[in-house]
Amino acid sequence: MSAAAPSALTPVAARRIQSELRDFTRNPPDGCRLETFEPITTWIIHMDGPEATPGMPNLYEGEKFRLQVKFTERYPLEPPEVVFVPPHTPAHPHVYSNGHICLDILYDGQNGGWSPALTINKVCLSLRSMLASNTEKARPPGDADYCSRVGMRSPKYTRWVFEDDRV
């Protein structure tokens, strides 16, 4: 659960991140583009809001978000820390204004759904689909309170409760 410590990557973690970097650069997920990976343990990814689909309200088309991914030294045994970079974070019932995301696959431990079978590529696909399936732009209840309370703390220290993971 520790925050990213770039200097202490295990050789396994370093190789895995290199492989993912190569894969992400060659086959980026739809609407995503790697902006920086300096140091290699901190990626910034550009994510376009998903296009409107028939039968769904058009909520995010044309919006642009930035995602920050920080790898820990025990990656992939531990999940990366993934947040939207404020101030422009998607208005979504599972995204706090500070960029923290309430999505089970981003966390381990009790209730968590992270598994080392996931990749950043798959995480981005899940986030895009989380946005695409939303029907109303709204922040989670208690958003302002949560943001002022956690400050700059990693979302990994928050005890999340997840509802239906299809949302």
Q: How far is the CB of 131 from other proteins (least distance, A)?
A: 15
Nearer to other proteins, 122 or 137 (CB): 122
Residues 6 or more apart from 128 whose CB is under 8 A from it? Answer: 29, 30, 31, 32, 47, 50
Nearer to other proteins, 11 or 55 (CB): 11
Specify whether 102 is catalytic. Answer: yes
Q: How far is the CB of 111 from other proteins (least distance, A)?
A: 7
Q: How far apart are CA 93 and CA 64, in angstroms?
A: 18
Q: How far apart are CA 158 and CA 152, in angstroms?
A: 12
Cα angle 29-30-31, degrees, rounded to a multiple of 5: 115
Quickly count: other Cβ atoms within 10 Å of residue 43's Cβ.
Answer: 23
Q: How far is the CB of 161 from other proteins (least distance, A)?
A: 5
Nearest to 88 by CA among 98, 73, 80, 75: 98
Residue 15 vs residues 35, 126, 156: alpha-carbon distances, Å: 20, 24, 23
**Contact by Cβ (8 Å): 92, 130:** yes
Residues that bind other proteins (CB under 8 A): 10-12, 15-16, 19-20, 23, 74, 76-77, 93-94, 102, 108-119, 121-122, 140-142, 146, 158-164, 167
Nearer to other proteins, 60 or 96 (CB): 96
Nearer to other proteins, 63 or 108 (CB): 108
Q: How far is the CB of 45 from other proteins (least distance, A)?
A: 18
Active-site option among 32, 102, 124, 147:
102
Residue positions annotated with a catalytic role: 102
